[in-house]
Amino acid sequence: EEIDGKGKFAFPGLIDVHTHLREPGQEDKEDILSGSRAAVRGGFTTILAMANTLPPIDNRALVEFVRRQGERAGYAHILPIGTVTKGMQGSELVEMADMKAGGAAAFSDDGKNIQNAEVMRLALEYAKITGFPIISHCEDKNLAGEGLMRRGVASGRMGLKGIPASAESVIVARDLILAEETGGKLHLAHISSAESVELIRRAKAKGVDVTAEVNPHHLIFCDEEIGITDTALKVNPPLGSQADREALIEGLRDGIIDMIATDHAPHTQAEKARPFAEAPFGINALETALSAVWQYLVLPGRLSLDRVIEAWSLSPARRFGQQGGTLKPGAVADMVLFDPDFSEVIEPAKLASKARNTPFLGKTMEGFPVMVWVEGRLVQRDRTVI
């Protein structure tokens, strides 16, 4: 078959290093099959699956379960992330070498930040030995408290309890210090503040082995745009100020922030229909993220498409794929054909994800992947999963 690529872009399949697929345990929100289908609809040929499932991915058998389910689904490559400690919140480290042998790509405390610095320090020492990055969720639970959105003018106006920006940067600073001391590989998840960008800039200048990611929603929205019924924009970390958003875009452009990642966090409609204070944190992002970045950042000239592809494919492959496998940069024909003129109304019936918690529901978006290949096999065409 001949493919007409006129006016379209061909690029490597995107690699999303931060997705919540909810299997095992919360399959009413998402499962590995629906999440894999959502991935290829969105242009992702590899996704890393976060460990905060029920039970959490804290042993080799569970790592192998996630990997097998990914293979059975047969769409995107699914790489399991393990927890750092047994039971996620304990103080006993998981068997990293064993889980790595079972196929774990990294280890993370995402969803439940490790509050104990000594545990994080030990994890980074092991990370140095195993060569795999520790992904930090970057949240001080005491500072975050029962907060619902970023503390600032907007939270004051809305009368909602705020989370200070320091809830993130205090842990960013801590983990950068520990990474420097141990020499362990550190990856900072969902960086959302100007101060965090500044801390990472300084650490990189000193040669600390750190990478960082930013989520599309933190590049596109800010706290002032949240309405009391917009539970789709209730995310963790919360949306920051306009100044934070600008610093994140700049940091991504400069290479201080290495990657874009969705933090795809599906929740049920019933959960997100609750009052703002009671709805869970998280945004459904796999199927709209690339289009959103295209529309809100590339088209207005804030980011180049080249930089977006580098940050969403090459940079993740370099950081998480150094052990070979499907994450080698330029692996065989994991590919996307992107049509900047393709427009689509984001409708519930079209979504491959089980969840509906996207702020773009009912909106018309422009610029979508219209053909996606995984290892040379066409898995999505004209927005339909094959």
Pairing of strands 377-381, 384-385: antiparallel
Which residues does residue 210 pair with via DSSP β-bridges, in sequence order? 186
Q: Which does residue 70 touch among Zn ion, ligand NCD, none (CB within 5 to 8 A, set by kind)?
A: none
35 near ligand NCD, rule: CB under 6 A: no
The total number of residues shown for the chain amounts to 386
| 235 is an interface residue for ligand NCD by CB under 6 A | yes
Span 137-196, contacts to ligand NCD by CB under 6 A: 137
Residues 310-313: contacts with CB under 8 Å, at least 24 apart: 311/252, 311/257, 311/258, 311/259, 311/260, 312/14, 312/15, 312/16, 312/259, 312/260, 312/261, 313/11, 313/12, 313/13, 313/14, 313/15
Interface size with Zn ion, residues (CB under 5 A): 3
Q: Is 18 in the site for ligand NCD (CB under 6 A)?
A: no
Helix 166-182 vs helix 117-130: crossing angle, to nearest 10: 50
CA dihedral 352, 354, 359, 361 (to 10 degrees): 60
276 scored as a contact of ligand NCD (CB under 6 A):
no
Q: Which is nearer to ligand NCD, 10 or 54 (CB)?
A: 54
CA 48, CA 76: separation in Å to the nearest integer? 10
User: Any contact of residue 285 with ligand NCD (CB under 6 A)?
Assistant: no
Considering only residues 110, 175, 213, 258, which one is a binding residue for Zn ion as defined by CB under 5 A?
110
Positions marked catalytic: 263
Using CB under 6 A, which of 276, 281, 296, 342 touches ligand NCD? Answer: 281
Place of tokens 């180049």: 304
Question: Which does residue 60 bind out of Zn ion, ligand NCD, none, counting CB within 5 to 8 angstroms by kind?
Answer: none
- d(CA 230, CA 228) in angstroms, rounded, equals 6
Binding mask 226-265 for Zn ion (x = CB under 5 A): -------------------------------------x--
In angstroms, how far is the first alpha carbon of the chain from the final one?
16
CB of 289 to ligand NCD, least distance (A): 14
Binding partner selected for residue 52 from ligand NCD, Zn ion, none, CB under the kind-specific 5 to 8 Å limit: ligand NCD
* Residue 238 binds ligand NCD, judged by CB under 6 A: no
How far does Cα 235 stand from its chain's mean position? 12
Which one of 108, 236, 295, 353 is in contact with ligand NCD (CB under 6 A)? 236
Q: Is 213 in the site for ligand NCD (CB under 6 A)?
A: no
Q: Which two tokens stand for residue 157?
A: 């106006």
Q: Which is nearer to ligand NCD, 53 or 69 (CB)?
A: 53
Is residue 282 involved in binding ligand NCD (CB under 6 A)?
yes
Chain contacts with Zn ion (rule: CB under 5 A): 110, 137, 263
Chain contacts with ligand NCD (rule: CB under 6 A): 20, 52, 110-111, 137, 235-236, 263, 265, 281-282
